[in-house]
Amino acid sequence: MRPPITFTGNPLDRADAVRSDPARLAALWVRGGRLLQMEGLEPSLASGALVWSEVAAPEGEAVFLGLDEAGIGHFAPVPSPDQASTAPPSFNLWQALNGMDDGEIAIYGAARALVGWHARHRFCARCGAGTVLAKGGWQRDCEACGAQHFPRTDPVVIMSVEHEGRLLLGRQPRFPPHRYSALAGFIEPGESIEEAVAREIYEEAGVKVRDVRYVASQPWPFPSSLMIAAHAFADDPALTVDHSELEDARWFTREEVVEAMTARDRGEDGVAFSAPSRTAVAWHLLADWLED
């Protein structure tokens, strides 16, 4: 059975109506509100589970994550700017997430993306004055110029490309040895998903594609991306790899992809290449292609 996409399935009700009601928000703290225990952006864990504490009111800024089934408010603390790194997740964090419940990973991912944004956006981008948390943390307001600022989600396209039964995968220099994965890149202002897919593949591999199809999406809180997975077809397999972006790109046969994915299930590297981790939406793209 296909595992859920990591960082989806947050069980909390985001309760938008509560966010804009300061009295209801304040009442949630009194009625057993829970504050997520974090070290900067890292989760504090006990037996592989998130740790929540009951506090009457937070000491610093806190964001409202949502309500559980009992109507209890769940919050997360905004760290200091020096604790809000945008560096990729550590190996230790991945090890910890691997043992966690899917719903808890999703709660943590939402909390990390949101509190990290607050920590890095304390000043107004329009006038430079300090801003204050508003709407339970789903907005920051500038009292000097009246601007409102909203938490960012940066869309990224990630795509598998097919040509006559083979799949195009690439390697970034930062990847683990032998790892190949789907090509990816940020969507630019003024682009549709389909246009971004076509541009990125052409820029990175010199391949023109057609029939771009949406497959799935994944929130990726490092620091605030939304991965949009797509599949596309190429008529001409000739590659011109942009080595400023990719170490390598090549076509893999269905048999090679099957072998690499089967090896990944055993926690091993494949023969032709090492398949992406199951926590990445790229894994789902490859699994989707094999199922078709």
Options 126, 210, 243, 254; binder of Zn ion; rule CB under 5 A = 126
Closer of 30 and 127 to Zn ion (Cβ): 127
Question: Are β-strands 154-163 and 166-171 bridged in parallel, bridged antiparallel, or unpaired?
Answer: antiparallel
Tell me the residue length of the chain.
Answer: 292
Are the C-beta atoms of 286 and 275 separated by less than 8 Å? Answer: yes
As measured in angstroms, the least distance from the Cβ of 98 to Zn ion is 42
Q: Which of 124, 229, 234, 249 contacts Zn ion by CB under 5 A?
A: 124
187 binds Zn ion (CB under 5 A): no
Region near Zn ion per CB under 5 A, out of 50-58, 94-102, 122-130, 270-278: 122-130
Strands 209-220 and 225-234: antiparallel
- Give the Cβ contact number of residue 188 at 10 Å: 11
**Of the two residues 27 and 129, which places its CB atom closer to Zn ion in the complex?**
129
Of 42-50, 73-81, 141-149, 204-212, which segment contacts Zn ion by CB under 5 A? 141-149
Would you say 147 and 127 are in contact if contact means Cβ atoms under 8 Å apart? yes
Nearest distance, CB of residue 130 and Zn ion, angstroms = 9
Does 93 interact with Zn ion (rule: CB under 5 A)? no
CA angle 170, 176, 179 (to 5 degrees): 35
Per CB under 5 A, does 147 bind Zn ion? yes
Least distance to Zn ion, CB of residue 164, Å? 55
The rounded distance, in Å, linking the Cα atoms of 292 and 282 is 16
Q: Is 125 in the site for Zn ion (CB under 5 A)?
A: no
CA-CA distance, 45 to 213, in Å (whole number)?
39
Please give the residue ranges that form the binding site for Zn ion (CB under 5 A).
124, 126-127, 129, 142, 144-145, 147
